[in-house]
Amino acid sequence: MFSRSALNAHDLGLPLAVTLALAFATKRMTYENLLVRVLGSCETMANASVICTDKTGTLTQNSMTVVAGSVGIHAKFVRLLGENAERTNADETEKSGSGNNVSRKHHKDFSIDQSQLNTVLSPALRDLFNEAIAINSTAFQDKDPETGEVIFVGSKTETALLQFAKELEWRDFKETRDAADIIQMIPFSSERKSMGVVIKLPKGGYRAYFKGASEILAKKSTSHVVVNQDGQYPNGIVTQRIDELAQENIDRTIIFYANQTLRTIAVCYRDFPSWPPPGMRRDNEGDVRSSLFVPIFFS
């Protein structure tokens, strides 16, 4: 039997012991980059078997990485292709009504490791791709206050794209951005679901770069760049009209990536002989009204 004093001591000690145990668990979790705001959640999570989360957020390290993509409609690149072959749909098959496998592969589609992407892109197309990433971005480089390492700072999508270009050893983003004659920045809009920038080309004319929701920009585009597996281009950049087969390829690829819980981003461009183009008006600050870009901007 316990005396009354012993029971009181036991009652007081148990809550303290539990609190200390939870606090210790919380401290251990911070070393794993997991921030716990409520001590009791440690005990709750110990009994969890399934966690449901919004895929549009970034978890654990709060960073994003380009892991797969398509240049044009045929070149399907994947980070570490040998280990992640399931992330390419170049050889995609589906079950027919009779249960047989039916190939959905376009005869020009091919898979390539992301690190080898330069071997199939012409220098002109690489520069175009790099400009679309570097100029149409507000991210920048700075030192990590904890590690001292130089990192990209800004939107997680933009920093992932800049890191992608850096890994492929494309021209430094700051040099590319500083060399561009920027005419107008077009901020992200929930109406367009995209952002853009207009630059003046050295040899005359203007070019607009846009990036945003792939399903929106793809529907507004009328052409795609052509990438061959041999990487040979007599004229630098070759484009082709998006026909019904190409549109099906684009839609299928977007759905394929989305089904892997990947965030799909489209990068587009269009050249103009003059700015503003016919039919567009300037606002009081001299910029073309961005609301007019929605129906006619992409090609």
182-209, pLDDT tens digit by residue?
A: 999 988 888 888 999 999 999 999 999 9
Residues of the chain with CATH 3.40.1110.10: 68-296
pLDDT at 93: 59
Asked if the model's pLDDT at residue 91 lies above 80, the reply is no
Q: What is the mean pLDDT of residues 39-44?
A: 74
CA-to-CA dists, residue 263 to 67, 95, 108, 115, 131, angstroms: 10, 26, 25, 20, 21
pLDDT at 180: 97
Asked if the model's pLDDT at residue 299 lies above 50, the reply is no
Judge if pTM exceeds 0.85: no
- Residue 298: pLDDT band with limits 50, 70, 90: very low
pLDDT at 61: 65
User: What pLDDT digit, counting tens, does each position of 258-278 carry?
Assistant: 999 899 999 999 999 988 887
The residues annotated as belonging to the active site are 54
Nearest Cα to 141, choosing from 119, 113, 114, 174? 174
Nearest Cα to 132, choosing from 87, 170, 95? 170
The CATH homologous superfamily to which domain 68-296 belongs is Calcium-transporting ATPase, cytoplasmic domain N (3.40.1110.10)
Asked if the model's pLDDT at residue 116 lies above 50, the reply is yes
- Are 117 and 71 contacting, i.e. CB atoms less than 8 angstroms apart? yes
